Amino acid sequence: MHLPDPRRLSPHILGWLGPACMALFAGLLRFVRLGSPHAVVFDETYYVKDAWTMLMTGEARDWPDKVGPRQLPVDQLFAQGDTDHWLGSAEYVVHPPVGKWCIALGLKLFGGAGNPFAWRAATALAGTIAVLILCRVALRLFHNLPIALMAGFLLSIDGLGLTMSRTGLLDNFIMVFALSAFACLLAHRDWARDRLHRAYARDSADPVAPFVERANRPGRLFSHPPGHRRHRVPTGSPLVLDSSGPFIACSWWRLGAAVLLGLATGTKWSGAYFFAVFAILSVLWDAYERRRAGYRGWLAAGVFKDGLPAAAYMVPAWAATYLASWAGWLAHTDGYLRDWAATHPGQGQTWLPPALRSLVEYHQEMWRFHTSLDTPHPYMANPLTWPLQIRPTSFYWQELPDRPGLCTLSPGTDCVASVTSLGNPILWWLACVCCFLGLLVALLFRRGDWRYLAVISGPLAGWLPWVQYLHRTTFTFYAVVILPWMILAVCYLADWLRLNLPTHAYRRTCSVALWTLGLVSLFFYPVWTALPVPYWFWAIHMWLPSWV
- Alpha carbon of 295 to those of 298, 300, 304, 462: distances in Å? 6, 11, 15, 34
Confidence of residue 232 (pLDDT cuts 50, 70, 90): very low
Provide Rg for the chain, Cα atoms.
26
Rounded CA-CA distance 63/311 in Å is 42
Q: Helix 483-500 vs helix 171-204: angle between axes, to the nearest 10 degrees?
A: 50
Rounded CA-CA distance 386/372 in Å is 21
pTM across the whole model:
0.93
Tell me what the pLDDT averaged over the chain comes to. Answer: 91
pLDDT in the model for residue 403: 81
- Dihedral through CA 260, CA 264, CA 270, CA 275, nearest 10? 0
Contact 457, 444 (CB under 8 A): no
Contact 497, 130 (CB under 8 A): no
- Alpha carbon of 97 to those of 61, 103, 336, 462, 516: distances in Å? 13, 10, 13, 20, 40
Contact 508, 494 (CB under 8 A): no
Residue 352: CB partners within 8 Å, gap ≥ 6? Answer: 360
Rounded CA-CA distance 102/171 in Å is 12
pLDDT in the model for residue 156: 98
Contact 231, 193 (CB under 8 A): no
CB contact burial 233-265 (16+ within 10 A = b; e otherwise): beeeeebbbbbbbbebbebebbbbbbbbbbbbb
pLDDT in the model for residue 9: 76
Q: Name the pairing type of β-strands 239-241 and 211-213.
A: antiparallel
Residue 411: CB partners within 8 Å, gap ≥ 6? Answer: 403
- Dihedral through CA 82, CA 87, CA 93, CA 99, nearest 10? 40
Q: Helix 425-440 vs helix 483-500: angle between axes, to the nearest 10 degrees?
A: 60
- Mean pLDDT over residues 118-147, rounded? 97
Tell me: pLDDT of 6 over 80.
no
Tell me: pLDDT of 175 over 80.
yes
Rounded CA-CA distance 313/277 in Å is 16
Confidence of residue 212 (pLDDT cuts 50, 70, 90): low
pLDDT in the model for residue 214: 55
pLDDT per residue as tens digits for the range 38-86: 999 999 999 999 999 999 999 999 999 999 888 999 999 999 999 999 9
Rounded CA-CA distance 192/186 in Å is 10
CA distance between the termini of the chain: 52
pLDDT per residue as tens digits for the range 437-479: 999 999 999 988 999 999 999 999 999 999 988 888 999 999 9
pLDDT in the model for residue 15: 92
pLDDT in the model for residue 207: 66
Q: Which of 101, 84, 105 is nearest to 93 (CA)?
A: 101
Residue 495: CB partners within 8 Å, gap ≥ 6? Answer: 142, 144, 147
pLDDT in the model for residue 325: 96
Contact 262, 174 (CB under 8 A): no
Q: Which of 8, 18, 25 is nearest to 147 (CA)?
A: 18
Rounded CA-CA distance 388/73 in Å is 36
Confidence of residue 302 (pLDDT cuts 50, 70, 90): confident
Higher local confidence (pLDDT), 303 or 268: 268
Q: Which of 125, 241, 115 is nearest to 175 (CA)?
A: 125
Q: Which of 263, 84, 86, 38 is nearest to 170 (CA)?
A: 263
pLDDT in the model for residue 3: 55
Contact 317, 259 (CB under 8 A): yes
Residue 23: CB partners within 8 Å, gap ≥ 6? Answer: 128, 129, 131, 132, 135, 152
Tell me: pLDDT of 506 over 70.
yes
Rounded CA-CA distance 53/59 in Å is 6
> E strands of 319-362, at which residues?
none
Torsion sign, CA atoms 457, 459, 462, 463: negative
pLDDT in the model for residue 231: 43
- Which amino acid is located at 226 in the chain? P
pLDDT in the model for residue 229: 43
